[in-house]
Amino acid sequence: MTGILRLAGSEIEIARWGVTTLFADGLSVPAAPNDDATYRARAEALGYGTDTLRMCVEHEVGHAVLAHVLGLRHSPTLRGVAEGAYWPHWQAEEAAVLGLQRYARLAGVDLVKVAQRLAG
C-alpha cells in the first residue's frame, strides 16, 4: 500500500507508518494511527475492524478524493491544518470524509485505488 499519489494540489505519500499530505509550497500534514481506544472504536465503526493504519491512510486520501471531485484546489481542512489555521467549516469536511469511508467500506471499495484512478 506504500507509494505516492498526486491529487487535489498535493502529493500523498503512503508509508508503512502512516501518510503525509505534502503541498507544493512545502507545507505538509503527517498522519499516523493513534494507539487508543477511541481510535480503535472508530476503525471498528467505519468497517476497518482492527486495521487502524488502513483507516488512517484512507482518511487522508479521502480528503483529497473529495476535494478533487468537488473541483477544489486542495482539501481546505488539510490545507488549514498545514497552515496552522483551521478552516471554519472543517467539521463538515470531516463528516463527509468519514461518511465516504464508511460508504466505501460497506461497498467494498478501496479508496486508495479510487485516488489512483482519479490521479490518472
Residues that bind Zn ion (CB under 5 A): 94
Torsion of CA 94, 95, 96, 98, to 10 degrees: 80
Of 80 and 120, nearer to Zn ion (C-beta) is: 80
Q: How far is the CB of 31 from Zn ion (least distance, A)?
A: 8
Q: How far is the CB of 63 from Zn ion (least distance, A)?
A: 6
Q: How far is the CB of 77 from Zn ion (least distance, A)?
A: 6
Query: Cell for 95?
Result: 463528516
- Quick one: residue 9, left, alpha or beta (phi over 0 = left, psi -120 to 50 = alpha)? left
Partners of 31 in beta bridges: 19
What SS3 class is residue 2? coil
Of 11 and 94, nearer to Zn ion (C-beta) is: 94
Query: Cell for 10?
Result: 498535493
Of 64 and 120, nearer to Zn ion (C-beta) is: 64
By beta carbon distance, the residue nearest Zn ion is 94
Distance CA 45, CA 59 (A): 14
Of 96 and 118, nearer to Zn ion (C-beta) is: 96
